[in-house]
């Protein structure tokens, strides 16, 4: 019988990387951990999609630069067809366009390949619990992009708002300063559903990287209730993942 984790279920893991040594090393290391079953190893993006649909993994460790289909394309396809499957990006690349494209595609975590074995393992378990993780270098990139956007965005005048009000057909989120980065910056607050005081508090704690359990301890709510709050906040702020929600929270503060 396969050993189980503390939740009583086995975490089904798929590993996608075009480098055989890395793929096999990850499989060997993680399969030896209690509660984890490696259900497949994919050598490219298309194979990752096919295996994810065939094996129904809980978590996919995804490289980004792979033949036939990139990790971003594979992540987008897998999360679209299997929303319950979480994707952990593990790559050597930290280019801005890749970082934000992966987040937009639905990745729950983004790690660089210099991460320790313990960090990779904890991230896999964390996203399985519904949390999101960014390596420190990636988190700094996200913060820097929003600071840059905030500094460069012109402050609208009352006259500008009046002139634009009659021509707005649909809310369109502004994009980051680099036109090649297909990542939308947070929608202005006026186009979002308002949050309650408690929802704002929970959102702030989530942006600090706290888990549902840690948030519940601060606001005196059960972990399941916190999860329901976060789902409601995601609906109000038009986000699909906790990572995207944390990014949106940073943008709201800036």
**Per-position pLDDT tens, the chain of length 254:** 444 444 558 899 999 999 999 999 999 999 999 999 999 999 999 999 999 999 999 999 999 888 888 888 999 899 989 989 999 998 887 666 777 788 888 888 888 888 888 889 999 998 998 888 887 777 666 666 556 655 555 555 554 444 444 333 333 333 333 333 333 334 444 445 678 888 888 888 887 778 888 888 888 888 888 888 888 888 888 777 777 777 777 666 54
Residue 56 to residue 63: CA distance in whole angstroms: 18
- Per-residue pLDDT at 251: 63
- Per-residue pLDDT at 180: 34
Residue 239 to residue 74: CA distance in whole angstroms: 20
Q: Which domains does the chain have, with CATH numbers?
A: 11-139 (3.40.50.2300)
- Per-residue pLDDT at 24: 92
Residue 185 to residue 126: CA distance in whole angstroms: 26
Residue found by looking up tokens 């090393």 in the block: 25
Which residues neighbour 237 within 8 Å (Cβ) at sequence distance 6 or greater?
186, 187, 192, 193, 195, 245, 248
């Amino acid at each position: 019988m396969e050993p189980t984790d503390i939740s009583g279920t086995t975490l089904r893991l798929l590993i996608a990387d075009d480098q055989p040594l890395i793929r096999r090393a990850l499989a060997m290391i993680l399969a030896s951990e209690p509660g984890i079953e490696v259900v497949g190893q994919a050598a490219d993006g298309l194979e990752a999609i096919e295996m994810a649909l065939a094996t129904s993994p809980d978590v996919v460790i995804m490289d980004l630069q792979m033949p036939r289909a990139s990790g971003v394309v594979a992540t987008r396809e897998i999360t679209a067809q299997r929303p319950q499957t979480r994707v952990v990006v593990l790559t050597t690349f930290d280019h801005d366009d890749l970082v934000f494209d992966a987040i937009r595609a639905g990745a729950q975590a983004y790690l660089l390949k210099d991460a320790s074995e313990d960090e990779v393992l904890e991230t896999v378990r964390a996203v399985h619990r519904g949390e999101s993780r960014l390596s420190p270098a990636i988190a700094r990139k996200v913060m820097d992009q929003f600071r840059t956007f905030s500094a460069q965005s012109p402050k609208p005048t009352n006259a500008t708002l009046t002139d634009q009000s009659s021509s707005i057909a649909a809310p369109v989120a502004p994009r980051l300063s680099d036109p090649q980065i297909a990542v939308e910056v947070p929608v202005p607050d006026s186009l979002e559903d308002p949050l309650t005081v408690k929802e704002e508090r929970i959102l702030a704690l989530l942006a600090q990287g706290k888990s549902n359990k840690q948030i519940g301890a601060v606001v005196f709510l059960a972990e399941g209730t916190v999860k329901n709050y976060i789902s409601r906040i995601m609906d109000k702020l038009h986000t699909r993942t906790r990572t995207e929600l944390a990014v949106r929270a940073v943008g709201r503060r800036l």
